[in-house]
């Protein structure tokens, strides 16, 4: 009996070691091939969207220098604005995009200056979601994104907590203008079962992998005409909202 007990313990040990080896091999494979799926790896805007990409992007609200470095690394042309504002409306990481590649989609109006983390997510949204879905569903690339603005020193609903717009950590997207001249708007094309509605829902869903909060017409009437995209920082494992 003692021999069998020793053999049983040895077998359990071997199985445990095999499991640990398999886990280590899987982690090594992920680090080498899918680092964006792991929480501790560096963010690279040129990588495909991974399981932790959105959290890493929202975490950039705590590190202006890192965010600007990532824009530089990705070849994104921008101008960093000087810090301004006071109190809850203080903002020190606004950037204004140029229209030069690789950011091919112009923002309209063009003088908008969201925070760096919002811009970093906009770039990944374009590369990984907006342009592929526009080609797949509409047969044309997007030339211009129309918006309702970014920075606005205000509270939610006028009396609630401070809005992410108060620190330029949000942008409200209203419509997409295609290369062929068609205009797909949230207010006009969200409802229905046509290609335009499918495109809007696809890009909304894709934004949820990149932004801390995404609000669409499915959320409430106040968002019937736009997508609210923000990078609210709620801690490394804080809640994220997609509606």
Position 131 scores a pLDDT of 97
Least confident range of 12-16, 52-56, 92-96, 212-216: 12-16
47, 35 contact by CB (below 8 A): yes
42, 67 contact by CB (below 8 A): no
Mean pLDDT over residues 213-218, rounded? 98
Mean pLDDT over residues 152-167, rounded? 94
Predicted confidence (pLDDT) at residue 30 exceeds the cutoff of 50: no
Q: Which residue has the tokens 């101008």?
A: 79
Mean pLDDT over residues 68-89, rounded? 95
Position 10 scores a pLDDT of 59
Percentage of the chain beyond pLDDT 90 is: 77
Beta bridge partners, 91, equal 84
- Domain residue spans of the chain: 1-33, 43-242
Output the average pLDDT for the chain: 89
Supply the pTM of this predicted model: 0.86
**Separation between Cα atoms, residue 243 and residue 101, nearest integer Å:** 31
Position 32 scores a pLDDT of 59
**pLDDT tens-digit readout, 99-145:** 654 556 899 999 999 999 999 999 999 999 999 999 999 999 999 99
Tokens of 134: 């526009």
**Separation between Cα atoms, residue 57 and residue 74, nearest integer Å:** 14
SS3 at position 44: coil
Position 221 scores a pLDDT of 96
**pLDDT tens-digit readout, 82-98:** 999 999 999 999 999 98
Mean pLDDT over residues 172-191, rounded? 97
Predicted confidence (pLDDT) at residue 12 exceeds the cutoff of 90: no
- According to DSSP, residue 126 is labeled I
Position 28 scores a pLDDT of 55
Least confident range of 20-29, 79-88, 109-118, 208-217: 20-29
Among left, alpha and beta (phi > 0; psi -120 to 50; other), residue 108 is: beta
Q: Beta-carbon neighbour count of residue 237 at 10 Å? A: 8
């Amino acid at each position: 009996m003692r021999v069998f007990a020793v053999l049983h313990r040895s077998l359990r040990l071997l199985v445990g070691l095999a499991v640990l080896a398999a886990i280590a091999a899987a982690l090594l494979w992920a680090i080498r091939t899918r680092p964006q799926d792991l929480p501790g790896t560096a963010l690279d805007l040129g990588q495909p969207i991974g399981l932790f990409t959105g959290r890493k992007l929202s975490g950039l609200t705590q590190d202006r220098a890192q965010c600007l470095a990532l824009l530089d690394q990705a070849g994104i042309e921008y101008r960093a604005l000087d810090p301004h504002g006071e109190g809850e409306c203080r903002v020190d990481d606004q950037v204004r995009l140029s229209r030069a590649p690789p950011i091919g989609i112009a923002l309209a109006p063009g003088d908008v200056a969201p925070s760096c983390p919002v811009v970093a997510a906009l770039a990944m949204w374009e590369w990984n979601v907006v342009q592929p879905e526009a080609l797949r569903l509409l047969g044309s690339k997007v030339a211009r994104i129309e918006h309702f603005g970014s920075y606005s020193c205000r509270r939610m609903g006028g009396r609630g907590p401070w809005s992410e717009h108060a620190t330029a950590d949000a942008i409200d997207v209203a419509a997409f203008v295609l290369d062929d001249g068609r205009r797909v708007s949230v207010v006009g094309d969200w409802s229905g079962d046509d290609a335009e509605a499918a495109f809007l829902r696809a890009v909304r869903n894709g934004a949820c992998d990149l932004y801390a909060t995404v609000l669409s017409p499915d959320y409430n009437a106040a968002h019937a005409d736009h997508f609210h995209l923000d990078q609210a920082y709620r801690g490394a494992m804080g809640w994220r909202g997609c509606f």
